[in-house]
Amino acid sequence: MKSMYDAQITAIVFDTEGAIFALGDGSVRFEDGAFSAAHDGAILCAVAHPSGTGIVTGGDDGRLIWHRRTDAGVLATSARGQWIDAVDASAESGLIAFSAGKTLTVLDAKDAGFRRDFQHERTFSGVAFEPRGRRIATSTYGGAALWFARIAEQKPTFLKWAGSHTAVTFSPDGAFVVTAMQDSQLHGWRLKDQKNMRMGGYPSKVRAFSFLSNGQLLATSGAQGAVLWPFVGANGPMGREATEIGFDEGSLVALVASQPKHGVLAAGLNDGRVWLADPPGQGLNFLKAERGAPITALAMSPDATRVAWADEDGNAGVSEAG
């Protein structure tokens, strides 16, 4: 499937029925043609709803909206209409968390009355649930903060590391937190002892990272190939080298996508190409071989059988990965 939109695609999400595209004009387009235009402004972030149906989007209109194929509804608004620029959700706990300015807000998809607002000292930019959905990591200047999702009054655990941290993720076993930094590197912490892991050497900012192969590999963008960090055993990548696959001197990997339980990796390049590595390290299968505008959104379906992509010019497609 291929389409062309007259706005930028800012995020792609797969729910149980198919790919869903979130656009810079505030609309949401479902793969089957369904359409939802609920935001007044651009969609800045998106995640699949914890129920498995539909997409949750955050916009520069300060609204968090759940769009399904037949209807859409506002889940929450930010204070003073601040931009909602990061969102995550947990199917395990049924919670949704989003950032607006210095506030982290947690909602319960099954309990419309539940809302927690946690204040940070500075603006933060990334939100990630721990795999069981009970804790939340946020990335900010000077490190990452860890919050318990449901406790009303609390002080977060702060994982310190100098610099500006712009995105965050948990390893699938919950043992590590990894951030992407302004300074073209990753930083990681082993939670049990807060041991630091410096993961550097990138020629460019890391815009995307994703675990695969049962959490044994963390794939990242930001280099001429996709970078793979080994997360095996209690030490994770400490003392081990990263590998790079699909190296191409003339381009940069802009985005990566994978699913933690599957050993397949998709990469979107800044020259418009999209490839699949199954398994990583044994050659590339180009899902989109023609060059064009940089890839700006990339997603893999939960069963790792389909990959959806979009480029800066509004072209989008869904390819079978199998």
Query: Radius of gyration (Cα) for the chain, nearest Å?
Result: 18
According to CB under 8 A, which one of 53, 154, 182, 194 is a site residue for other proteins?
182
Considering only residues 208-247, where is the footprint of other proteins by CB under 8 A? none
CB under 8 A: which stretch of 3-11, 71-79, 150-158, 240-248 binds other proteins?
3-11
CB 275 within 8 A of CB 290: no
Binding of residue 10 to other proteins (CB under 8 A) = yes
Residues 6+ apart with CB under 8 A from 156: 118, 138, 145, 146, 147
Binding of residue 141 to other proteins (CB under 8 A) = yes
CB 284 within 8 A of CB 270: no
* Residue 181 C-beta: closest distance to other proteins, Å: 7
Binding of residue 61 to other proteins (CB under 8 A) = no
According to CB under 8 A, which one of 51, 196, 204, 285 is a site residue for other proteins?
204
Binding of residue 41 to other proteins (CB under 8 A) = yes
Binding of residue 60 to other proteins (CB under 8 A) = yes
Count of residues for the chain? 322
> What is the rounded distance in angstroms from the CA atom of residue 31 to the CA atom of residue 322?
19
Instruction: Write out the two tokens for 285.
Output: 């299968």
Count of CA atoms in the C-beta half-sphere (13 A) of 311: 19
Binding of residue 319 to other proteins (CB under 8 A) = no
Considering only residues 73-132, where is the footprint of other proteins by CB under 8 A? 80, 82-83, 85, 101, 122-123, 125
> What is the rounded distance in angstroms from the CA atom of residue 300 to the CA atom of residue 259?
7
CB 308 within 8 A of CB 296: no
CB 206 within 8 A of CB 184: yes
* Residue 7 C-beta: closest distance to other proteins, Å: 5
Residue 70 CB neighbours (<10 A) = 8
Binding of residue 271 to other proteins (CB under 8 A) = no
According to CB under 8 A, which one of 18, 201, 314, 317 is a site residue for other proteins?
314
According to CB under 8 A, which one of 51, 103, 164, 235 is a site residue for other proteins?
164
Residues binding other proteins: number (CB under 8 A): 33
> What is the rounded distance in angstroms from the CA atom of residue 140 to the CA atom of residue 127?
10
CB 228 within 8 A of CB 239: no
CB under 8 A: which stretch of 13-21, 162-170, 284-292, 299-307 binds other proteins?
162-170
According to CB under 8 A, which one of 17, 108, 173, 183 is a site residue for other proteins?
183
Residues in contact with other proteins by the rule CB under 8 A: 6-8, 10, 24-25, 41-44, 60, 80, 82-83, 85, 101, 122-123, 125, 141, 162-164, 181-184, 204-205, 293, 312-314
